[in-house]
């Protein structure tokens, strides 16, 4: 029977960060990943000289993920997504997207009354306490100008990656929008695979034992430790375990945990349909971004800001933020291609590769208004020495910010549980 101070289940960015933190503090760490490669949804794909993320990925410069990567010494290269060629699409027409509230006041996107209401609503984003249990749709309904309300809804969609405003906590959405507009986002050279590769090297340097194509079937207490049952390998005893996987996977691994079962049952996944396109030439170099106002759609030329394509080529991501399961993938794809037709007319002869992801999981769970915006705690309440990390865990941020903030906290608590055992 093998043993380890900390066993991390899941080799995505959250699992890698938790493993690096624990191992760097001197713990023996074993990381188990069921796939043949690390990275999870952060793994990028290369087609020729073009590099794709799995749909549009952005690093929020003011978020917990950027801070955590900096503290771990994980460097990244790329550029902030900022350009004069950003547009909103309303009523079939493109209008320049104002770069801020002040620019909005001189733009034609809204009328005078709409501008005043938009500015007033934007000024209230930091006053989000008391809105945890209010659905974002209810908060938006207070903006009576329909054009201002629609533009705000579109900005909430693009920063939270969610269109399910009837369920999303208004406070969580307000914090996310304020952070996104305040500091902006970056697209990364080489895609998010660059983060996976650098974290993997750090993990190996710190002594983490990494096993791919390996997944436990059950985790259960055994005396003062936890036993991780791994097929074809045997049981692995751990002082603590970090589950860096989705809520349903975690609940299945620890069937005795009612808290994990409850988290899995109430989770509302965030999903998007994504069209990823490689072009040998960008037809319209003066159009980098489209934000749909009348529809929950989005287009971004990521290669305008990051090294993802050869000289003269381009990588374009087009997405629709989905609500529920009632959508026709073929129709959605046709409508996303039509958005690309409008933004980049003549793109089709230049396409060297296309990939359509009809129902990509962006995040495993929304911060729900019905739950007061609260998510699963990092320390599993009914299983001592068991911790979880991911975009559905903890009380900080959304998306990757939530994943890496909870990963850090999980590693800290795992190390503390080891120290307490040694004292005892």
Q: How far apart are CA 163 and CA 400, in angstroms?
A: 18
User: Cβ-count burial of 208 within 10 angstroms (0-12 exposed, 13-18 middle, 19+ buried)?
Assistant: buried
pLDDT higher than threshold 90 for residue 325: no
Per-residue pLDDT tens digits for 349-403: 999 999 999 999 999 999 999 999 999 999 999 999 999 999 999 999 999 999 9
260-269 as b/e: b if 16+ CB within 10 A: bbebbeebbb
Which domains occur in the chain, in start order? Answer: 2-42+194-267+366-423 (3.50.50.60), 45-62+70-81+186-190+269-363 (3.30.519), 100-181 (no CATH)
Per-residue pLDDT tens digits for 269-312: 999 999 999 999 999 999 999 999 999 999 999 999 999 999 99
What's the pLDDT at 424?
47
What's the pLDDT at 233?
76
Structure tokens, 133: 């249990």
**What's the distance, CA 15 to chain centroid?**
14
Please write down the HEC assignment for all residues of 258-291.
Answer: HHHHHHHHHCCCEEEEEEEEEECCCCCCCCCEEE
Per-residue pLDDT tens digits for 166-223: 999 999 999 999 999 888 999 999 999 999 999 999 999 999 999 999 988 899 999 8
What's the pLDDT at 423?
46
Per-residue pLDDT tens digits for 229-260: 998 778 999 999 999 999 999 999 999 999 99
Single pTM value for the model? 0.95
């Amino acid at each position: 029977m093998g043993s380890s101070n900390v066993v991390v289940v899941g080799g995505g960015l959250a699992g890698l960060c938790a493993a690096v933190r624990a191992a760097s503090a001197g713990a023996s760490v074993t990381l188990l990943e069921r796939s043949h490669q690390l990275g999870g949804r952060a793994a990028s794909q290369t087609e020729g000289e073009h590099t794709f993320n799995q749909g549009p990925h952005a690093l929020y410069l003011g978020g917990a993920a950027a801070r955590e990567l900096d503290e771990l010494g994980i460097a990244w290269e790329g550029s902030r997504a900022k350009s004069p060629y950003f547009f909103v699409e309303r009523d079939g027409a493109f209008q320049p997207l104002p770069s801020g509230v002040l620019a909005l006041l001189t733009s034609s996107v809204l009328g005078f009354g709409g501008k005043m209401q938009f500015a007033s609503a934007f000024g209230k984003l930091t006053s989000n306490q008391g809105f945890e249990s209010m659905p974002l749709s209810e908060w938006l309904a207070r903006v009576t100008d329909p054009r201002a309300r629609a533009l705000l809804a579109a900005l909430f969609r693009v920063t939270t990656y969610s269109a399910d405003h009837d369920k999303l906590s208004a406070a969580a959405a307000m914090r996310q929008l304020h952070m996104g507009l305040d500091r902006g986002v970056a697209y990364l050279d080489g895609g998010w695979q660059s983060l996976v590769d650098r974290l993997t090297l750090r993990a190996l340097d710190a002594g983490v034992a990494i096993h791919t194509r390996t997944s436990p079937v059950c985790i259960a207490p055994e005396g003062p430790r936890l036993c991780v049952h791994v097929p074809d390998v045997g049981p692995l005893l751990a002082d603590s375990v970090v589950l860096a996987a989705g809520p349903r996977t975690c609940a299945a691994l620890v069937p005795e945990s009612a808290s994990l079962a409850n988290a899995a049952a109430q989770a509302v996944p965030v999903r998007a349909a994504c069209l990823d396109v490689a072009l040998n030439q960008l037809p319209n170099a003066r159009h980098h971004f489209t934000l749909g106002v009348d529809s929950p759609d989005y287009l971004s030329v990521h290669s305008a800001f990051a090294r993802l394509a050869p000289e003269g080529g381009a990588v374009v991501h087009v997405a629709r933020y989905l609500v529920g399961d009632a959508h026709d993938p073929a129709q959605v794809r046709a409508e996303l291609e039509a958005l690309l037709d409008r933004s980049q007319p003549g793109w089709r002869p230049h396409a060297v590769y296309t990939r359509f992801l009809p129902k990509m999981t962006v995040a495993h769970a929304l911060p729900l208004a019905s739950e007061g915006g609260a998510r699963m705690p990092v320390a599993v309440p009914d299983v001592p020495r068991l911790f979880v990390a991911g975009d559905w865990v903890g009380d900080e941020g959304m998306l990757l910010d939530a994943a890496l903030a909870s990963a850090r906290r999980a590693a800290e608590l795992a190390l503390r549980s080891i120290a307490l055992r040694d004292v005892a």
